[in-house]
Amino acid sequence: MASIMQNANRLRRALLSHSGISFGAWQMLPGGNLSRTIARTGYDWVCVDCEHGNIADNQMHESVAAIASCGVSPIVRIPANEGWMVKRALDSGAHGIVVPLLYTADDARKLVQSAKFPPVGQRGYGSPFSMGAFGDPSGLEYLQQANEALVTVVQIETREAFEDVEAIAKVEGIDVLLVGPYDLGNNLHHPITSGEPDVELKAAIEKIRKAAVTAGKKAGIYCISGEQARRYADQGFHMISVVADMVALPTFMADSLVKAKGSYGHAALNMAKGVVYGTASSLSSKDKEGKKS
């Protein structure tokens, strides 16, 4: 039977469901209200990005609590594979962590030591905040259940990690290998310049997916649109980031402005022809009358 914390972790439940597919969103801007707004749109998880996002430690705490209050899993991407960063993220109540810039299987083993309580790892116990993100289990229940309930995700985005991906996938305690396609493309000298990977990068991404599945782990990937996310879901990926706030917000606002200007331009053209709502000619007549008077 699943524990209290395992049941509360929506990402974990989705990954272990029949489909095994979990869709998430990426938050780069700070704010608890923004976190709640994103969490209420139906995603299984929201990644609070403390690597490239504009989110400080106290703002991370607020966002994690806000996301969890909506029944959605707060996942924190820390800036680097540093033990104190792992501790801060998990102590805030994160249901899981995404860790960038791994290079070797030893890096993955170091991460597990930071993310797991003894006897599995060396994580320190004492946060008064982490329980609240799981329906408020007791401190003892959190201590006893966290190792199995939390999700540990490593990004495969460096050349070194890509070359060592099979060994990284076999590290016990790592749950998901998540492809960072843009950095991976840059590091493999196949940068994404047109929105989609080239043939060589697609093959590299598929190699990572196969390594994860072969080792009994889940495969994840960062996407920038629903259409792209659907393709990777069909390809067999499990933990799929659909869109980020800093992609969705400017894209929607720019698209809306283009549509508004398009309507305005059409109206202006018709005005010039004197046919807008049948008023152009009458206005012209009034102007002429005004000039005569």
Q: Which of 65, 68, 70, 88 is nearest to 78 (CA)?
A: 88
Mapped onto helix, strand or coil, the DSSP state of residue 216 is coil
> Which one of the listed residues 18, 52, 61, 266 is annotated catalytic?
52
Cα–Cα dist 19/35, whole Å: 26
Q: What sign has the CA pseudo-torsion 56, 156, 82, 114? A: positive
Q: What do you get for the CA distance between the two ends of the chain, in Å?
A: 90
**Tokens coding 66:** 């806000």
Cβ contacts of 214 within 8 Å, gap of 6 or more: 166, 169
Q: Is 52 a catalytic residue?
A: yes
Backbone angles phi and psi of 177, in degrees to 5: -105, 115
Residues belonging to the active site: 52
